[in-house]
Every structure is written in C-alpha cells, then in structure tokens.
C-alpha cells in the first residue's frame, strides 16, 4: 500500500510544554504564599493579595494553567502519533493555545480584584466562562476532526480518555456556569441553596474526575508504555477501567455534601458510587504498575520512570482514600478540616505533578533532538519533590485529625472541651509552617526542573515539523467473523463520543432531576425572607473577599456543632434565596451560619478592622479597605431585578425603592455603632466621610442577618466586646 508522507506539528507541543512549566511555577508560588498567610496573616497583606482572593488564584492556576497546559502538551504530541496524522488545523491549534493563555491571564487579573462567583474551581466570572466554553470547543473540534481524518483505523484507549474528557468537561462547565449577569464582572448563579450546592459539587467532583484524572489516565496509557518501551500490561483491563470509571465517577459528587441539607437519598447515592469507584481506579493503578513488570531495574536510574511510579502510586492512594472519606462516619471527622487538603494534594502533587514532570523529562529531549542537560539534577528533583510532598501531606493529616478531635471533644460535665474555635486553629500553626516548608521544597524541585529543561532546549534544536509516513486509511473496513460490538465502536469516534456522553449523563440526571423537580426534596420555611438590599450588598462583599475560603455556613447535625454554634443545625429551606450558596468546604475559621445577632455591631466593626484586637492570636487578615471604600449602591436596583428574575419574591417595583431602604438600614447600623465612643474615635482615625456609606456597614448587616430567620425570639447579642 502506498505510504503517505506528512509532518507532525511539534511546535504546538513545545508551546504547551513551556506554558505548563511557567504556569506551574506561578501556581505553586501562589500556593506557597497562601500557605504562609494561613499561619502569618500579615504576609503580603494587601487588598488584592489577601488569602481569600488569592487562594482561588492558586487552585485555578494549578488546575487549569499547570495541569491544563500539561494535558494539552501531552494530547498534541500523542494524538498525532496515535492517529498517524497531523492535527487537523494549525490555526485552531494556535487559537486554542493563545486563547487558553489569555483566559489564564484574565483569571490572574480578575481573581485578585475580587471578581469571583465563589463557586470552587468555577470562580471565574461570566465573560471568562463564555471564553472558556468557546476555546474548549475549538480544542474539541480540532481533536475530533483529527480523529476523523486519521490513518490508524483503531482508536487506542488513550484516545477514548481524551474524548470522554472533552465531552464531560464541556457538559460540566456549561451546566455549572448558568448564571445571570448583573454587570460586566458580576453574576448570580441560576441555582440557589441546596440545588446550587448539588450542581456545584457535581461539577467540583467531576472537575477532579475529568480534568485531573481521565486526561491524565489517557496520558499514562500512552507515555508509560512509551517510556518503558513495552505495551500496557492488560488492554482488557484498560477497557473495563475506562467504561467503569467514566460511568461511576459522575455519580459521586454528593459525597462532598454529607451531613448537609441535601436529601439523604442523594447523599447515600454519592457514598455508594464512591465506594464502587475503588474498583476501576485500582484497576487502572494496577495496570500502570504492572506495565513496569520486568523493567523495574530501569526505574533505578531513569528519572521519568521514577516520577511515573510515584504518580501512579499516589493515584492509587488518593483513589483509595477518596472512597473512605465518602463514608459518613469518616467524613464526619475529615470534612471541613485539613484532612481534605492533604487528600487533594496527594492527588495534585503526586498524581498530576509527578506525571507532568515525568512526561516533560521524556518529551523535551525528544522534541529538541538532544539529551537531557542533567540526569543527576532530574533524579535530585525526584527526591526533593517526593520529600516535599510528604512534608506537605503528613502535617496536614495531623492537623485534620487534631482539629476535628478538638471540635468534638466534651468535658465530663457535658460542655465543650475547646469552646473557643480559635484554640483549635492556633494549635495548628506549627503544622501549617511545616506544610509551607513541604510546598517550598516541591516548588524548589520544579524550579530545578525548569532550569534543567531550559538548558536542554538551549543545546538542542526544536524539530518543528517532524517527518512521518503511514499508509492512507481507505475503503470500508471488512469486519472479521466473530468481531464484537466494542471492536465496532473502536473504529467509530462519533459513536464512541455519543456512548461516552450517555454514560456520563445518566448519573448527573438521576441525581439532579429529583432535587429540582420534587418539591419535598427542598422543604421551604415560611419565616425565611429574602435579604434586604443592604444585606445583599454585604453578601456580595463577603463573596468578593473570598470569606467562603475559610468560613463555612453549614451547621451539621452533630451535638458538638449545635452546641458550639448555639443554634439549630442548618435546614435546606434556609438557603432558598442564596444565589450562590456559600456553604464552603473548609473551616480555618468558625462556621458563620448562626453568627447573626450573636455579637454586637461594634464587635464586628473592630474584628474586621483588626481581628487580632478582638481574638488574640487570630489567623484572619484585617480588612481596613472596607472602612475607606464607599459601598457602590448604584448596582442595587440591577441586583434586585436579577434576584427577582431568579425567583426571589421581592415586591414588584422594589428595585426603585431598594436604595432608599438600603440607606435607611445603613444609617441605623451606623448610628448604633457611633454611639460607641471607641468606634467614633477609631473611624475618625482610619477614614473620612460618613460611616453609613462604607462597605463595612453592608458586611455587618449581612453577618447580623445570617441564620436568624429561624432563630426563636431573636436573642440579644450575648457576647460583649472585649476591647
């Protein structure tokens, strides 16, 4: 058969490789900064660099910039070779590359400025969401068209993982990003309360599944056999791994909402499918490790293989731990603590980080037709990264167990052993410092790698267009006797895409529809009323500052929580006007759902001005700009109208008088505050103008409202200011 000559596009692979290296360093550096801020809140303390604003910058940078570019680097190299063809369109490849980098830049600018939806790993505001969808489609079209015009009849299992990733991420991103814009960089989620939580964690969990796992499994199935120069241990196992994984993963989201107000049947469904996930995940891990059978001697002096081994092992550990954490009894201990942080970093630093490093060490010398600058340095990087990862994770596990135990401990007299939440955090400072050291080591290793690879690139030359040849794929495939349906689907990318889409839709639909369609799943409470305009503005400041990064708003039905937070556990009906929900996922500070009316206005005033003055040793940063910034009231009518469109029952025409109401409430709070001489003196010192016009007043209004709708006989503030 006649061989066709063509050229692989290596330039695009190299571009994504550099992007993943640069953004990797940026994302890890921001991670190190937030790790230091958590035990030293004064570190780099500017309005735009507070923990609440740059923690999402860290997560977005490492997920979408470091891992994202890593995925595309791995894809563009392997797709062309697995399909024996050049990418379908060089132009689309370039649009994809530059578009993705622009999105990352937009994220790096908007998140510190406080433009955020507050939904984890989906913080970017609506114009950027649209850009992500468009660029994702550009990538998908280019990939699918390349598959269609391929020269290799059968689609290797890595390609299935790539296809499933494309389809599922598109579905997740679109469904979770339904939001109503109220300005250029502000929107409200279309969903509220428990429904918003369900959609968000269906997204959040599957972002882990389909952005951090399936694409990297695809990469594992390609790069591991290449690096070790032998085929995958069991191709049959890889087929089961693929279908079982994509089918089961999508159901597991509700395990992030155990003991929340989500209907119990949905929580149980999440738990059951999470347990089932062990099977395909470990199937994949075993398949990866057994691919190295007979080649373990090469691991000793081959840095790429070392990174792969640790990556696959970390994948196994994280996917064993994940199901354990979704057991209600264990989740009761781990949730809202640093245990979760340890868990995700075993996945992030171990699985994604190590696999990316391994691929980079394998790929760059090949792209640049030279040898690696320093094998010794690569091996040193491996040990530093492994040590860094352990030094990161172990203190976090310790911190998680410690804090959870301290929360739940009662004295013999039946009172909380550690009634001050602060005690349970300050106790962890040393562990937080160790974690930062672990992170610094890991970053140090990555810097060594970038240096090593830059030196490698300098001594080589990029083979931008790599010559290749393969016979054309012509004519109809003649089925052999005894061929099976799966063999049929392996030749048909479109059908495979449709099958994969159906597999991932079933779980999401069965979980979400009942919560949206059946009213009994979200019981309403008649005393729950919409936020006042001032409270709504205060809530938006709470969102802007990323308070949700450290404070949950969900009192779980445990005795130690209802005693600690002095109120009932949270009910679904309390959140029906919360667009978006703000339950959070981590308690570095206490839960705030029952904080309303607990303290005096002046307590909040001084606490926001300098938390350390009120709670000695507090790890919360100060927010002095809220005392000088005037509240932007002009946005109020548009926000009220948006809420009305979302079904929040403000009276018709309320947008017209909302500002008047807002000012009235602000004046009441400000004059009550100014009765206190200490406030008068402090405000005169730190700001100018009218206290009622400042952002702090809106925030206090919101905090004082929290959780009070179902509090009986609105109790008076019981804690007096200690100053």
**Region of 220-228, 347-355, 405-413, 572-580 interacting with another protein (CB under 8 A):** 220-228
User: In angstroms, rounded to a whole number, what is the distance separating the alpha carbons of residues 314 and 354?
Assistant: 9
Nearest to 175 by CA among 508, 405, 518: 508
What phi and psi, each to the nearest 5 degrees, are found at residue 192?
-130, 155
Q: Does 303 engage in binding with another protein (CB under 8 A)? A: yes
Q: Does 264 engage in binding with another protein (CB under 8 A)? A: yes
Q: Does 490 engage in binding with another protein (CB under 8 A)? A: yes
Q: Does 230 engage in binding with another protein (CB under 8 A)? A: yes
User: In angstroms, rounded to a whole number, what is the distance separating the alpha carbons of residues 357 and 365?
Assistant: 13
For another protein, which is the closer residue by CB, 123 or 511?
Answer: 511
User: In angstroms, rounded to a whole number, what is the distance separating the alpha carbons of residues 563 and 571?
Assistant: 16
Q: Name 207's Cβ contacts closer than 8 Å, sequence gap at least 6.
A: 63, 121, 122, 169, 172
**Per-residue mark of binding to another protein, 78-117 (x: CB under 8 A):** x--xx-x---------------------------------
What phi and psi, each to the nearest 5 degrees, are found at residue 130?
-65, -45
Q: Does 247 engage in binding with another protein (CB under 8 A)? A: yes
Provide the CA 667 distance to its chain's centre, in angstroms.
39
CB 189 within 8 A of CB 119: yes
Angle between helical axes of 654-674 and 677-686 (0-180°, round to 10): 110
Q: Does 249 engage in binding with another protein (CB under 8 A)? A: no
Outline where DSSP puts E strands in 102-193: 179-183, 186-189
**Per-residue mark of binding to another protein, 493-532 (x: CB under 8 A):** ----------x--xx--x---x---x-xx-----------
For another protein, which is the closer residue by CB, 165 or 618?
Answer: 165
Nearest to 445 by CA among 296, 310, 299: 310
**Interface residue with another protein, options 26, 62, 372, 446 (CB under 8 A):** 372
**Interface residue with another protein, options 371, 420, 632, 718 (CB under 8 A):** 371
Residues 155-184 that bind another protein (CB under 8 A): 156-158
Q: Does 484 engage in binding with another protein (CB under 8 A)? A: yes
What's the closest the beta carbon of residue 372 comes to another protein, in angstroms?
Answer: 4
**Region of 180-188, 261-269, 557-565, 615-623 interacting with another protein (CB under 8 A):** 261-269
For another protein, which is the closer residue by CB, 100 or 307?
Answer: 307
Q: Does 222 engage in binding with another protein (CB under 8 A)? A: yes
User: In angstroms, rounded to a whole number, what is the distance separating the alpha carbons of residues 308 and 226?
Assistant: 12
Q: Does 686 engage in binding with another protein (CB under 8 A)? A: no
What's the closest the beta carbon of residue 529 comes to another protein, in angstroms?
Answer: 27
Q: Name 161's Cβ contacts closer than 8 Å, sequence gap at least 6.
A: 214, 215, 217, 218, 221, 242
Helix, strand, or coil here: 689?
coil
User: In angstroms, rounded to a whole number, what is the distance separating the alpha carbons of residues 534 and 545?
Assistant: 17
For another protein, which is the closer residue by CB, 180 or 278?
Answer: 278
What phi and psi, each to the nearest 5 degrees, are found at residue 336?
70, 5
> How many of the chain's residues bind another protein (CB under 8 A)?
67
What's the closest the beta carbon of residue 244 comes to another protein, in angstroms?
Answer: 6
What does 356-410 look like in DSSP terms, one character per residue? Answer: HHHHHHHHHHHHTTS--S-HHHHHHHHHHHHHHHHHHHHHHHHHHHHHHHHHH-B
**Per-residue mark of binding to another protein, 30-69 (x: CB under 8 A):** ----------------------------------------
Nearest to 715 by CA among 600, 617, 626, 636: 600
**Region of 219-227, 522-530, 555-563, 622-630 interacting with another protein (CB under 8 A):** 219-227
Footprint of another protein (CB under 8 A): 8, 78, 81-82, 84, 152, 154, 156-158, 221-222, 225-226, 229-232, 235-237, 239-240, 243-244, 247-248, 251, 263-265, 268-269, 271, 276, 301-304, 328, 361-362, 365-366, 371-372, 375, 378, 466-470, 482, 484-487, 490, 503, 506-507, 510, 514, 518, 520-521
């Amino acid at each position: 058969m006649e061989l066709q000559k063509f050229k692989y596009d290596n330039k695009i692979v190299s571009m994504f490789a550099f992007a993943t290296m640069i953004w990797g360093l940026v994302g890890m550096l921001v991670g190190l900064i937030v790790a230091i801020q958590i035990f030293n809140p004064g570190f780099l303390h500017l309005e735009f660099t507070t923990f609440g604003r740059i923690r999402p910058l860290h997560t977005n940078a490492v997920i979408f910039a470091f891992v994202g570019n890593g995925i595309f680097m791995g894809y563009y190299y392997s797709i062309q070779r697995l399909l024996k063809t050049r990418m379908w369109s060089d132009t689309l490849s370039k649009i994809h590359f530059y578009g993705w980098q622009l999105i990352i830049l937009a994220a790096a600018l908007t998140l510190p400025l406080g433009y955020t939806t507050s939904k984890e790993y989906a913080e970017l505001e609506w114009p950027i969401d649209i850009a992500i969808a468009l660029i994702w489609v550009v990538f998908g079209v280019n990939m699918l068209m390349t598959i269609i015009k391929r020269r290799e009849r059968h689609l290797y299992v890595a390609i299935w993982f790539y296809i499933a990733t494309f389809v599922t991420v598109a579905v997740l991103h679109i469904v979770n990003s339904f939001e109503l814009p109220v300005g250029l960089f502000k929107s409200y989620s279309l969903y509220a309360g428990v429904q918003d939580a369900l959609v968000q964690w269906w997204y959040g969990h599957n972002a882990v599944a389909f952005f951090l796992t399936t694409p990297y499994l695809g990469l594992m199935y390609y790069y591991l056999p290449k690096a070790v120069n032998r085929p995958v241990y069991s191709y049959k196992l890889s087929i089961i791994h693929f279908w079982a994984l994509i089918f089961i993963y999508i159901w597991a989201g509700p395990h992030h909402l155990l003991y929340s107000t989500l209907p119990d049947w949905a929580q149980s469904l999440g738990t059951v499918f999470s347990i089932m996930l062990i099977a395909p995940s470990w199937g994949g891990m075993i398949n990866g490790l057994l691919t190295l059978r007979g080649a373990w001697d090469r691991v000793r002096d081959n840095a790429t293989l070392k990174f792969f081994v640790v990556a696959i092992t970390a994948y196994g550990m994280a996917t064993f731990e994940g199901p354990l954490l979704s057991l209600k009894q264990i989740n009761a201990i781990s949730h809202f603590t640093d245990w979760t942080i340890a868990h995700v970093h075993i996945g992030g630093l171990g699985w994604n980080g190590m696999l990316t490093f391994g691929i980079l060490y394998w790929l760059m010398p090949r792209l640049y037709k030279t040898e690696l600058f320093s094998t010794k340095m690569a091996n040193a990087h491996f040990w530093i990264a492994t040590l860094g990862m352990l030094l990161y994770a172990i203190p976090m596990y310790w911190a998680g167990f410690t804090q959870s135990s301290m929360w739940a401990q009662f004295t013999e007299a039946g009172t909380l052993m550690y009634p001050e939440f602060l005690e349970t955090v300050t106790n962890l400072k040393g562990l937080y410092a160790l974690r930062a050291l672990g992170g610094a080591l890991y970053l140090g290793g990555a810097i060594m790698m970038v240096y090593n690879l830059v030196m490698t690139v300098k001594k080589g030359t990029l083979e931008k267009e790599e010559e290749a040849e393969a016979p054309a794929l012509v004519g109809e495939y003649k089925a052999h006797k005894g061929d099976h349906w799966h063999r049929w689907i392996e030749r048909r990318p479109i059908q495979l895409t449709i099958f994969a889409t159906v597999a991932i839709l079933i779980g999401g639909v069965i979980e979400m529809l009942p919560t949206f369609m059946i009213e009994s799943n979200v019981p309403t409470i008649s005393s729950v009323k919409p936020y006042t305009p001032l409270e709504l503005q205060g809530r938006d400041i709470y969102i802007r500052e990323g308070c949700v990064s450290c404070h949950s708003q969900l009192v779980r039905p445990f005795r130690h929580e209802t005693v600690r937070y002095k109120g009932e556990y949270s009910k679904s009906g309390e959140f029906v006007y919360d667009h978006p929900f703000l339950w959070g996922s981590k308690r570095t500070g206490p839960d705030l759902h029952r904080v309303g009316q607990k303290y005096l206005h002046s307590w909040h005033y001084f606490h926001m001005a300098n938390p350390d003055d009120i709670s000695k040793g507090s790890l919360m940063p100060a927010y002095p700009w809220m005392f000088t910034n005037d509240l932007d009231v002009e946005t109020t009518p548009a926000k009220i109208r948006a809420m009305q469109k979302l079904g929040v029952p403000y009276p018709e025409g309320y947008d017209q008088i909302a500002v008047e109401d807002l000012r009235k409430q602000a004046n009441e709070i400000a004059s009550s505050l100014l009765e206190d001489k200490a406030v008068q003196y402090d405000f005169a010192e730190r700001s100018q103008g009218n206290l009622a016009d400042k952002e702090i007043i809106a925030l206090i209004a919101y905090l004082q409202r929290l959780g009070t709708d179902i509090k009986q006989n609105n109790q008076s503030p019981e804690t007096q200011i200690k100053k």
